[in-house]
Structure formats: C-alpha cells, structure tokens
Amino acid sequence: MTPSVSWRGPRIAGLALLALGVAALVATTRIPSVRDGWAVSGPRLVPLVASLMLIALSIAFLVRTVVRPDIELAQFAAAEAAKTHWPTPGLVMAALLGYLALLVPAGYALATALFFTATARALGSRRPLRDVIAGIVLGTVVCYAFTRWLGVRLPVGPWGV
C-alpha cells in the first residue's frame, strides 16, 4: 500500500507565507526614512531583504507542490492530517482566548482554575473532579508563589487571589 498524500495543507501554508511576505514588503516601503531612504546602511535594507527572501522562498515552496512535487512532504502532511482531531486545537485556542479575557476581571487563580479544567476536558479528560481540584491548586499555588517570592504582579480580581 502506498501512503496517501495531501497537497491542500502545504499549499494553504505556502499561500499564507506568501501573503505574510507581501505584507512585510508593503510595510517595509512605509518605514519612514527622513534622509537615508533606501541607502544600504538605512533602516529599510534588512526588512527588504528578509521579505523578498520570504516571498521568493514561499513561491519556491508552492512550486514544489506542483513541479517536481515533494512527495515526502505530502505524505507527512497526510499522516499528520489523519491523526488530527481538528476540534481539539480549536477548543484549546478558544479556551486560551477565554483565559485572557477572564484574567483581569476574574483574577489569576480563578481564571487559571477554569482554564485548566476546560482545557483538560477539551483534551479528552474524563475526570472533571480531579481536573477542578488540580486547577484550583495550580492557580492558587502559582499565584501565591509568584506574588510572594518573585514579586510578580498578577491580577487579583474582586476577591484578592
């Protein structure tokens, strides 16, 4: 059996990189430069070189999905795709954003406990009680240790933890 191949993912990744390179190139032309302009020792040179490099390489990368295709990459991408359960990273990202949104209003300890429980659940944990306890312990211990011993300011929320 020959392993399956997938080109869609690599092509989207190549296009994303290309877009990034073009965006960086446009941003490079907007760098204000009073006198040096495009002088070699000016502030534009390195971003110019780097963004052109990225554009050229992402085009080369895209070409290799069509001409002299990089079969090993397509097989790797297909193997990755087969093992991927897409909702999981999506839910984890959503949990991360929720964590950030809650951090200041709810305080570090509570936000951490909630995030930990929710993420463990999203990753397939079937023991919610254990996760809740672990989350609360993690949140309060970290909060205490960091504010007390390391002098880091963490958001305390309405109840002081």
Partner 1 sequence: VWVFAASLIDGFGAVLSPENLLLALAGVTLGTLVGVLPGIGPALTIALLLPLTFNFSDPVGAFILFAGIYAGGMYGGSTTSILLNTPGESASVATAIEGFQMARRGRARAALATAAIGSFVAGTIGIILLTLLAQPVADLALKFRAQDYFALAILAFASVTALVGRSIIRGWASLALGLLIGCVGIDQLTGQSRLTFGVDQLGNGIDIVIVAVGLFAVGEALHMAAKLRRGGEEKLIDPGDRGQRDGGTKPARWLSRRDVRRSWKPWLRGAAIGFPFGALPSGGAEVPTFLSYATEKRLSKHREEFGKGAIEGVAGPEAANNASFSGTLVPLLTLGIPTSATAAIMLAAFQIFNLQPGPQLFTNNSELVWTLIASLYIGNVMLLLLNLPMIRIWVKVLEIPREALYAGILVFATLGVYSLSGSIVEVLVMYAIGVVGFFMRRYEFPIAPVILGVILGPVMEVQFRRALVASGGDASVFVDRPLTVALLSAALLALLLPYAPSIVGKLRGRPRPAGRLAFGESD
Per CB under 8 A, contacts with partner 1 among 88-117 are: 88-89, 92-93, 96-97, 99-100, 103-104, 112, 115-116
d(CA 134, CA 144): 15
Using the rule CB under 8 A, which residue among 77, 106, 110, 114 binds partner 1? 77
Q: Does residue 22 bind partner 1 (CB under 8 A)?
A: no
Q: Please, which of residues 33-62 interact with partner 1 by CB under 8 A?
A: 33, 36, 40-43, 45-47, 49-51, 53-54, 57-58, 60-61
How far from chain centre, in Å, is Cα 39?
A: 35
Residue closer to partner 1 by CB (options 24, 161) is 24
Question: What is the smallest separation between the CB atom of 88 and partner 1, expressed in angstroms?
Answer: 5
Cβ–Cβ < 8 Å for 116, 88: no
Nearest distance in Å: CB 121, partner 1: 8
| Torsion from C-alpha of 88, 92, 97, 102, nearest 10 degrees | 130
Phi-psi region of 40 (alpha: psi -120 to 50; beta: other; left: phi over 0): alpha
- Find all residues with CB under 8 Å of 96, minimum gap 6, and list them: 115
Closest CA to 109 of 143, 160, 62, 150: 143
Residue 5 CB, nearest distance to partner 1 (Å)?
13
* Minimum CB distance to partner 1 smaller for 1 or for 13: 13
CB 99 to partner 1: min, Å: 7
For residues 117-156, which are near partner 1 according to CB under 8 A? 119-121, 123-125, 131, 134, 138, 142, 146, 150-154
Tokens of 98: 């929720």
| Residues 6 and 77 sit within 8 Å (Cβ to Cβ) | yes
